[in-house]
């Protein structure tokens, strides 16, 4: 049990490390705007340093941004969070996509609505966050043509980042974004992801047989069954961890959200992991019953011979 807890803690530390690496340190000299194109929960995040609010109350700033965005999109919800030196304003957009069908994606973002509430000479970082399994163009051109860089990412997202004055974005007027999900890569990674279930079944069956063979050979170890069982479950636990890391880093998390309807995407993400988790106790509990039954039968045969 202790080993299992240690593994879970290590896994959590790994995920937090990846998130930390993914998150760049926020500067206090410029506004940051994140456009998150991730499927069902598409949202904009405005990270505004406190000293750039110019005595404007946070509620008023939220209302100003929301009023601008609502002139073009339907806002589901909006809220803000106050951090050490930055206030984050998050707005969930209901109708971000103009087209979302069979892996084809299209959206239009007027920059005057997105960042027009800031001064033209003000420095800004505009970051588009999309699925790793999508390919995007802006105004039918590559991102680099409009000053966007593509940094290295670690999780399911791909990022396009612009750093510069607001005025340069306003001169572009409108960003027409055309995206396409890479279906070949998505299918290939789905096959790998679901194959973890088969791998888990095979591993559990092989290891449970080895455990059964050891206990039948040394019946005196039966009272240590739980301890031995946890030892033999080490590899199945690693398979589950590998499966979770794969779905987090492969791009499937966001690709499912973009390709499938809400609910179906969550089902496809969670079901394989749940099956891998369920298989492990099922196999080893069944092994315990089988070993106990065979040991009792062997004891009955021995007692019968003595009689």
pLDDT digits (tens, 9 = 90+) for 39-60: 778 899 999 998 888 888 999 9
pLDDT of the residue at 20: 46
Helices of type H across the chain: 2-22, 58-70, 111-115, 166-172, 183-217, 225-232, 234-249, 252-259, 264-306
Q: Give 29 or 99, the one with higher predicted confidence.
A: 99
Q: Of 190, 204, 161, give the one whose Cα is nearest residue 251.
A: 190
Mean pLDDT of 109-125: 90
Residue 259 burial (CB < 10 Å; 0-12/13-18/19+)? buried
Q: Which of 42-51, 70-79, 92-101, 149-158 has the lowest mean pLDDT?
A: 149-158
pLDDT-derived band at 2 (thresholds 50, 70, 90) equals very low
Q: In sequence order, what are the residues at sequence separation of 6 or more whose Cβ sits closer than 8 angstroms to the Cβ of residue 229?
A: 211, 284, 287, 288
% of the chain at pLDDT higher than 70: 86
Which one-letter DSSP state was computed for residue 139? T
Q: Give 26 or 103, the one with higher predicted confidence.
A: 103
Residue appearing with tokens 């069954």: 225
pLDDT digits (tens, 9 = 90+) for 180-224: 999 999 999 999 999 999 999 999 999 989 988 888 888 777 778
Residue 57, phi then psi, degrees to nearest 5: -65, 150
Contact 191, 183 (CB under 8 A): no
Residue 23, phi then psi, degrees to nearest 5: -85, 115
Residues found in the chain? 307
pLDDT of the residue at 144: 86
Distance CA 196, CA 253 (A): 16
Task: Please give the model's pTM, rounded to 2 decimal places.
Answer: 0.76
pLDDT of the residue at 236: 94
pLDDT digits (tens, 9 = 90+) for 226-277: 888 888 899 999 999 999 999 988 888 888 888 888 788 889 999 999 999 9
Q: Give 16 or 152, the one with higher predicted confidence.
A: 152
pLDDT-derived band at 5 (thresholds 50, 70, 90) equals very low
pLDDT of the residue at 19: 47
Q: Of 257, 43, 31, give the one whose Cα is nearest residue 165.
A: 31
């Amino acid at each position: 049990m202790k080993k299992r807890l240690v593994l879970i803690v290590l896994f959590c530390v790994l995920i937090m490390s990846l998130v930390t690496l993914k998150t760049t340190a926020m500067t206090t000299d410029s506004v940051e705007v994140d456009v998150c194109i991730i499927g069902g929960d598409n949202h904009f995040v405005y990270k505004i340093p406190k000293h750039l609010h110019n005595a404007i109350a946070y509620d008023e700033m939220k209302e100003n941004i929301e009023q601008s965005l609502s002139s073009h999109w339907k806002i589901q919800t909006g809220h803000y969070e106050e951090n050490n030196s930055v206030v984050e304003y998050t707005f969930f957009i209901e109708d971000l996509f103009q087209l979302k069908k069979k892996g084809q994606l299209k959206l239009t973002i007027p920059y005057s609505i997105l960042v027009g509430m800031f001064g033209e000479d003000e420095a800004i970082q505009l970051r588009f966050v999309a699925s790793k399994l999508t390919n995007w163009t802006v105004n039918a051109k590559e991102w680099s043509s409009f000053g966007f860089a593509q940094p290295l990412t670690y999780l399911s997202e791909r990022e396009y980042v612009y750093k510069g004055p607001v005025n340069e974005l306003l001169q572009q007027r409108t960003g027409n974004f055309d995206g396409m999900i890479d279906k070949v890569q998505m299918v290939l990674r789905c096959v790998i992801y679901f194959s973890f279930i088969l791998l888990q079944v095979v591993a559990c069956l092989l290891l449970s047989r080895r455990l059964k063979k050891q206990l039948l050979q040394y019946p005196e170890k039966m009272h240590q069954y739980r301890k031995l069982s946890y030892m033999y479950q080490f590899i199945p636990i690693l398979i589950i961890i590998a499966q979770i890391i794969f779905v987090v880093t492969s791009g499937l998390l966001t690709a499912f959200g973009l390709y499938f309807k809400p609910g179906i995407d969550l089902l496809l993400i969670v079901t394989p992991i749940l099956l891998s988790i369920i298989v492990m106790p099922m196999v080893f509990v069944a092994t315990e019953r089988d070993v106990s039954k065979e040991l009792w039968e062997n004891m009955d045969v021995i007692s019968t011979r003595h009689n």
